[in-house]
Structure 1
Amino acid sequence: MSYPFRLAAEPLIARPSGALFWPDRQLLCVSDLHLGKSGRMARRAGALLPPYETRETLLRLEAEIEATGARTVICLGDSFDDSAALDGLDADDRLWLTRLIAGRDWIWIAGNHDAGPLDIAGSHRAEVHLGALTFRHIAEPGAQAEVSGHYHPKARLAGKVWRCFLADSTRLILPAFGTYTGGLWTHDPALIGLMQPGALAVLCGGTVARAIPMPRKA
């Protein structure tokens, strides 16, 4: 079950996967895919992680596109784990991604990990304004009707750690969609400083997106 809500009067849906859906525009938005993270870690730190995270992330992304029928997809930045990650993708994974892009309005928002234009189909933007909403990678203090990512918010409930959306009357911060991604606790000062009192954390990662008051204490 998904969690419906409104931002700037626009009806939006937080899905259990961590993706955002805007039905009126048939738009799916995901953040922080961090494709190629295992390869980047092997190159830079020598750490060896199972190299399957790209495939798992693409599988979940394809499932969301099929479930929602999205005609527009926005990737909110840090789609690739570094500037070399795209070239390092397995040929089959790159073909899979190209197939997902084909026939859709696909928008890559620049992130801090992948700031430069990428050699892949789709449009490449610093930020996007659609209707009343602005889509960018990192939240800007004082912004209105803003959808962003970057922070990978997470919260604990009943002894379990959940990725989560953070929502208040002026902004929405998406969870990381990528498989190999850490997170920032909702009680971190950076998130407390951005989110208004009364903000919600919409927990995701299971079969239900569940809203709770945003935890502000460890």
Structure 2
Amino acid sequence: MLQARLDLMPETAPTLRSHLTIGRHSLQPLTAGALYWQAQDALLVADLHLEKGAAFAARGMLLPPYDTRATLSRLQRIIDALDPSRVIALGDSFHRSECADNLVEDDFALLRSLQKGRDWFWICGNHDPHLPDSVGGTVCGSLTIEGVVLRHEPSNTAMGPEIVGHLHPIARISRRGTVVRRRCFATDGSRLVMPAFGAYTGGLNVLDEAFKSLFSWQQLEAWMMGRHAVYPVLGSLLRPD
């Protein structure tokens, strides 16, 4: 119940904004965990981890085998609403590279229907460094649009704005006796770390050591996902797990 109350905590975001800025570009974070770049008519998602349930089952760790359909169905709803001309998946789209060849027929058909009539880019991640031609679209190591580099893992040598995935950021706040922990978009205006989109993906608190070198902490905002909006929360309000 506590985690459902973010929408009732306006003091976390004195001025509610609907768009964040990376470099000189304005982008809209969506409550489902995707990012819409209207000027480019591009939809960005990260860490779908399709077929994670199947990959775990192959190791004897049984999970309900519905994560791929659940993830693709959520993505379908966003695509149906926005009809973007480009979709860019920022790596770890499949939980293992070989999983891309193992989609059941219905899931494969849904994926191909989502790609129809638009440009689709698969950026390779650490879980899926190689993808077969059967996934459709364009497979690449990174992509640069209007000076913004899109890649899977944050770069240690980035000289300009970048949007990445990989770390599955989570933000935690405590206000007036209520504790809320949600997926978030973590950004300082120069680098943006996307939340994981996949149905079976976990998360890592943005105050974890793994994020320490990535941001100018005085500028950090965690855009936390509520049920009806995405709320920018100042870094100074964040709490560790």
Q: Same fold (TM over 0.5)?
A: yes
Taking a change above 3 Å as real, the CA distance of residues 20 and 2 of structure 1, as seen in their structure-2 partners, is farther
Deviation, 1:205, is: 5.4
Q: CA–CA distance in 2 between the matches of 1:182 and 1:208?
A: 21
Q: TM-score, normalised by structure 2?
A: 0.86
Corresponding position of 1:13: 28
Deviation, 1:192, is: 2.1
**For the Cα contact (< 8 Å) 1:192–1:216, is it kept in 2?**
no
Q: CA–CA distance in 2 between the matches of 1:135 and 1:18?
A: 16
Aligned counterpart for 2:115 among listed residues 101, 114, 117? 101
Deviation, 1:26, is: 0.6
Residue type matched to 1:23 in 2? Q
Aligned counterpart for 2:136 among listed residues 114, 117, 121? 121
Corresponding position of 1:156: 172
**For the Cα contact (< 8 Å) 2:97–2:131, is it kept in 1?**
no
Residue type matched to 1:11 in 2? S
Residue type matched to 2:135 in 1? I
Aligned counterpart for 1:83 among listed residues 75, 97, 111? 97
Corresponding position of 2:43: 28
Corresponding position of 2:162: 146
Corresponding position of 2:203: 183
Residue type matched to 1:199 in 2? L
Structure ID, larger Rg: 2
**Paired residue secondary structure (1:24):** helix
Residue type matched to 1:97 in 2? L
**Paired residue secondary structure (2:101):** coil
Q: CA–CA distance in 2 between the matches of 1:141 and 1:202?
A: 23
**For the Cα contact (< 8 Å) 1:40–1:81, is it kept in 2?**
yes
* Stretches of structure 1 lacking an aligned partner (at least 5 in a row): none
Which 4+ stretches in 1 moved above 6 angstroms?
none
Corresponding position of 2:80: 66
RMSD: 1.5
Residue type matched to 2:72 in 1? L
Once the two structures are superposed, residues 77-136 of structure 1 have per-residue CA deviations (whole angstroms, 9 ceiling, x without a partner) of 000000221222211001100110111100000000000132321000000011121100
Structure with the larger helix share: 2
**For the Cα contact (< 8 Å) 2:18–2:29, is it kept in 1?**
yes
Corresponding position of 2:185: 165
Q: Tell me whether 1:209 sits opposite 2:225 in the alignment.
A: no
* Stretches of structure 2 lacking an aligned partner (at least 5 in a row): 1-15
Taking a change above 3 Å as real, the CA distance of residues 205 and 115 of structure 1, as seen in their structure-2 partners, is farther
Corresponding position of 2:4: none
Taking a change above 3 Å as real, the CA distance of residues 95 and 205 of structure 1, as seen in their structure-2 partners, is farther
**Paired residue secondary structure (2:73):** helix
Q: CA–CA distance in 2 between the matches of 1:51 and 1:27?
A: 30
**For the Cα contact (< 8 Å) 1:2–1:14, is it kept in 2?**
no
**For the Cα contact (< 8 Å) 2:172–2:240, is it kept in 1?**
no
Q: CA–CA distance in 2 between the matches of 1:2 and 1:113?
A: 34
Residue type matched to 1:155 in 2? A
